[in-house]
Amino acid sequence: MLARMLFGVIVFLSFPALGQDMRNVSEPVIPPTCAVLKARLTPAKDGALKESDEGKVDTERIQKALDACPPGQAVKLQRIGAARAFLSGPLQLRAGVTLRIDAETTLFGSRRARDYDVSPGSCGRVAEKGDGCKPLIRADHVANAAVMGEGVIDGRGGARLAGEKVSWWDLAQEAKVKNLYQNCPRIMVLTAADNFTLYSVTLKNSPNFHVLYRGGNGFTAWGVIIDTPKNARNTDGIDPANATNVTITHCYIHAGDDHVAIKANRLGPSSHISVTHNHFYTGHGISIGSDTEGGVSAVRVADLSIDGADNGIRIKSNSSRGGLVHDVVYEDVCIRDTKNPILMDSNYSFYGQDRDRLPSFTDIILRNVRVFGPGQITLDGFDSTHRLGIAFDQVLIDAPERTRVAADFADVTLGPGPVNFFPTGKDVRVAGKATRGNPASCKEMFVPMPGK
């Protein structure tokens, strides 16, 4: 059971398990507390830290508490009166230990680039290579760790770096203009962290990705709010990479890049992933790719709203990082005011020199998908051998006369439910026919972004 405050009323939501995660996933339970750390900092009226408090870091005492906490218990960060803030540099989670951010409490990330250096001077700059920053929170080869609570983790991506005139997001934009890499920290990087749980917490203003979960078996994000402006470059919400048994559910994501991006580079596949009962706002969509070389399969997306985004349902790759994407089902999805409501892109932006890792997207099913507002549907296979294989069943758009459909190298099936558009293009083969119809209302699906 999930409780959320909507329009001042607590609404309890209960949904059956659905999807391809092979675990039996239920709502997480916050474990007993091993230590309570009391806040020492009081934010200014605008919610930011006072300049005089920027040197009062809590990194050491938080890390010591995590190190000393027995598995199965939690370190709780707690407000005391007006003092409701903690300030930290990079933290490392321990096996079986939960970091709990209590209600009305904020953990702020440090604005000092040197705190995040992987090597001296590597973080906080634009360069020929990236990966120069440690994340704010790291879990590395530790099982059963977690971050929970009703509080907030604020990466402060838009705040000016200490001693500099630019923010993390300014560096990201500079890197885009110069075709270089930004070295900005992520809020969480979870590597081979089996059975990791992210529950109820709010993540905001990440300098880069909010959550990267890579190389692990078992990840649950339940009731998480991610809230970062749409112009904050490379601020993906949750990215499972080379991951197995993933559930992302009951989440609200407003981001500057992909809401969720399922990736699989040459290190291994991503499979058995469930994305269910979520609400997405501005951002770049529910994405697979662009790294698909390792293969992506057994993905189920259900009961999803996407409102005001750049992209909706999206699979992307290219000849330098492509591989097989198959057995992917999207069901009961409502999309509104989104530029590219359906985007199958086999020729996504090139990076790297290799051109022999060709993308193949097949066995893709969209069922009961409703689109409101104009936009473009793109169905792009790579070539006559690496074709897009996609089926539409009860997929309806409310403005077919204002929706452009572009397709090539695609095998498309329409039906048995109504589909009110008909794709044509280079080497496009269609089984079935278009049927007139208007999408049923999605009014109950489009809900406001919760505030924190």
H/E segment holding residue 169? helix 168-178
For residues 43 and 50, the answer to whether their CB atoms sit within 8 Å is: yes
Cα separation, 29 vs 146, whole angstroms? 11
Cα separation, 441 vs 439, whole angstroms? 6
For residues 228 and 210, the answer to whether their CB atoms sit within 8 Å is: yes
Q: Return the C-alpha torsion angle 288, 289, 293, 298, nearest 10.
A: -10
Query: Token digits for 407?
Result: 């397709």
81: left (phi over 0), alpha (psi -120 to 50) or beta: left
* Residues with catalytic roles: 257, 284
For residues 300 and 19, the answer to whether their CB atoms sit within 8 Å is: yes
Instruction: Concatenate the DSSP letters of all residues of 5-57 into one string.
Output: EETTEEEEE-----SS--S------PPPEEEEEE--B---TTSSPPGGGTT--
Burial 121-156, CB ≥16 within 10 A → b, else e: ebbbbbeeebebbbbbbbbeebbbbbbbbbbbbbbb
For residues 338 and 311, the answer to whether their CB atoms sit within 8 Å is: yes
207: left (phi over 0), alpha (psi -120 to 50) or beta: alpha
Cα separation, 450 vs 452, whole angstroms? 7
